[in-house]
Structure 1
Amino acid sequence: MPLYVYSITAEDHPRHLDGVSGVGSEPTALRTVAAGSLCAVVSDIEEEVRPKRRDLTAHQEVQERLMADGPVLPLQFGYTAADDLAVRQALESNAESYLSALDRLNGCAEYHVRASQADQTPLLHQILGDLPEARDLNDRIRGGDQDPRLPLALGELIAREVEARQETLAAGLTEALVPFSREHIAHPPSADDFLNLSLLVPEGQQDSLRVAEANLTREIGGGVELRFSGPLPPYSFV
């Protein structure tokens, strides 16, 4: 029977999952498939599992419950296997790398840090104040100059400067936060974000990271929104 695979743990992980439901319209009991020093947490499925809210929540709850009792390798939502044998073979063939990853992630959680320009106005005022060329173009437009090239030239200049300043800020934020982590990954920013950073943070550094978050939020100002989320299962570092 096909299996939905949630995560991989060490064989001696307590796996306290009583009362936790699996994915699917008719969830089956969570169970484990063991191979040597490793276990995979799975449930039987009879249908394709789609990313509905209930199933996403169920998947995440399994990871969080496991993470509370020890290191876990969380799989991304939607991972399935043909049967127990396929899972067992995967555990056996990758045992060394899985055990190494569990050791590396022990005592750590993932934190996401994102930053976006919530309000462009303060930044635009700074650019006009700092760049004589931008200020001159803006003054000519406001003064009634009808040259159709002026708005385009001003827009391109400001767009380049916004991008450069956001890249500089993103680099500064990363430099300030990385010391609290064991590992970090800079993801490509999406939507309105100019920073999308994942940090693998040891338990002993998590309070210090929160203090740094508060200090950075206070310091950057200028219409920038800084968003932290965590502690999370370490999806980015598996």
Structure 2
Amino acid sequence: MTQQVYTYGIVRAGHRLPRPATGIGAPPERLRLLDVGPLSAVVSGAPAGLLARRRDLLAHQRTLLTLSREGPVLPMRFGSVAPDEETLRRQLADAPDEKLRTLERLDGRVEMNLKALVVEGDLAELLRQDAHLRRLHHESRTRPGYENSVRLGQAVAESLTRRATRAATRTVQQVRGLTEASAPGPTVEGCALNLSFLLPRENESRFRDAVERAAAEHAGRTELRVSGPLPCFSFTEPRRPPAGRARPRPRRAAPAAATSEGRS
């Protein structure tokens, strides 16, 4: 029976494997290189009944981050399984120059993600800042009713989102000089911004520090959350226009304004 092949990522030929050279599975599958010309795929056996368990998701990401310390990696998504080695070799041999250009662009770079989360705020502060909101609030008090309450609630949510968007825009401007490219992430409920950045590895600490300063500036009004370093998934495919953004719902601030999320 032909053994399926699990693929973690594509690297340049000669890329060193981490020690220990193990990946997903229990016990962990052993990593190896599948060489095709100037490129290699980092692969292992594919465990039977593979599911998106937290253990294996983290092992996949940890493998990619460890590989990236030895050179650029074109990462594959979790669950990338080829039916056999020959199929994977054909895929690896397709457009090798394009893959090499992508690896060159990712060399020495990491991905960092920034989210700006809408936070419920002091209504009195919002009323001071928004004349339209003051009018709707006055109408809901003098002519109470369902429609006026709905209009007020919608206006409050929109005002909170605008405030989070302004904080996000200001923060992006502050970190832009540390980055080389950006890519919008998927819509996240309660999130006014979900943006990934490609930046030189040596700028990671400065990027994080800049976001933490911005988080302190906007504490209690917008939650700014930074994650990374991450495998450079957002910068390996052709750019696509962002999907339409749904109106985020307010969310209460976390105890820490800026955090480093779990590497997932």
Work out whether 1:196 is the aligned partner of 2:197: no
Q: Does the CA contact (< 8 Å) of 2:15 and 2:70 recur in 1?
A: yes
- Name 1:229's counterpart in structure 2: 227
Aligned residue for 1:116, secondary structure, equals strand
Give the distance between the partners of 1:23 and 1:204, measured in 2 at CA.
29
2:211 maps to 1:213: yes
Residue 81 of structure 1 pairs with residue 77 of structure 2:
no
1:57: which partner in 2? 58
The residue aligned with 1:66 is 67
Distance across 2 between alignment mates of 1:210 and 1:40:
32
The one-letter code matched in structure 2 to 1:175 is Q
Q: For 2:47 and 2:24, how far apart are their aligned partners in 1?
A: 11
User: What is the CA deviation profile of residues 10-36 of structure 1, one whole-angstrom value per residue up to 9, with x for unaligned ones?
Assistant: 1121222x3243323454321111011
Alpha-carbon distance in structure 2 between the residues aligned to 1:50 and 1:58: 13
Distance 1:94 1:111 in 2: 28
Secondary structure of 2:15's counterpart equals: coil
Residues 208 and 2 from structure 1, CA distance in 2 versus in 1: closer, same or farther, beyond 3 angstroms?
Answer: same
Contact 1:174/1:197 (<8 A) preserved: no
- Once the two structures are TM-superposed, the CA of residue 199 in structure 1 deviates from its matched residue by 0.7
Secondary structure, aligned partner of 1:42: strand
Quickly say closer, same or farther: Cα 1:130–1:46, change in 2 above 3 A.
closer
Structure 2 residue matching 1:177: 3-state secondary structure? helix
Matched letter for residue 11 of structure 1: A
Query: Quick check: 1:9–1:40 contact (8 Å CA) kept in 2?
Result: yes
Q: Is the 8 A contact 2:17 2:31 kept in 1?
A: no
Whole-angstrom CA distance in 2 between matches of 1:66 and 1:146? 62
Which residue in the other structure is 2:121 paired with? 121
In the other structure, the counterpart of 1:172 is: 170
The aligned length equals 234
Residues 20 and 61, structure 1, Cα contact 8 Å, conserved in 2: no
- For 2:130, the equivalent position in structure 1 comes to 131
Cα deviation 1:169-225 (Å, max 9, x = unaligned):
333322322221111112233022211111111023223212312221122234321
Assess, with a 3 A threshold, how the Cα gap between structure 1 residues 218 and 163 changes in structure 2: closer, same or farther.
Answer: closer
Report if aligned partners of 2:33, 2:41 keep a CA contact under 8 Å in 1: yes
TM-score by length of 1: 0.88
Using the alignment, how far apart are the partners of 1:27 and 1:221 within structure 2?
42
**What displacement does 1:46 show?**
5.3
- Aligned equivalents of 2:108 and 2:138: distance in 1? 57
> AA paired with 1:5?
T
- For residues 52 and 90 of structure 1, the distance between their equivalents in structure 2, rounded to whole angstroms, comes to 27
Relative to structure 1, is the Cα distance of residues 7 and 146 closer, same or farther in structure 2, using a 3 angstrom cutoff?
A: closer
Distance between the aligned counterparts of 2:32 and 2:132, measured in 1? 66
**Matched residue of 2:162: which SS?**
helix
Rounded Cα–Cα distance in structure 2 between residues aligned with 1:49 and 1:147? 54
Give the Cα–Cα distance (whole angstroms) in 2 for the partners of residues 41 and 128 of structure 1: 56
Shift of 1:62: 1.2
Query: Aligned partners of 2:129, 2:180: CA distance in 1, in Å?
Result: 38
Amino acid at match of 2:9: S
Q: Percent identity?
A: 31
Q: Give the structure with higher Rg (CA).
A: 1
Structure 2 counterpart of 1:160, one-letter code: E
When residues 147 and 92 of structure 1 are mapped into structure 2, their CA distance, relative to the original with a 3 A threshold, is: closer
CA RMSD in angstroms comes to 2.1
In the alignment, structure 2 segments of 5+ residues that lack a partner are 237-264
Contact 1:29/1:43, CA 8 A, preserved across alignment:
yes
CA distance in 2, matches of 1:10, 1:187: 27
| 1:8 and 2:10 are equivalent in the alignment | yes
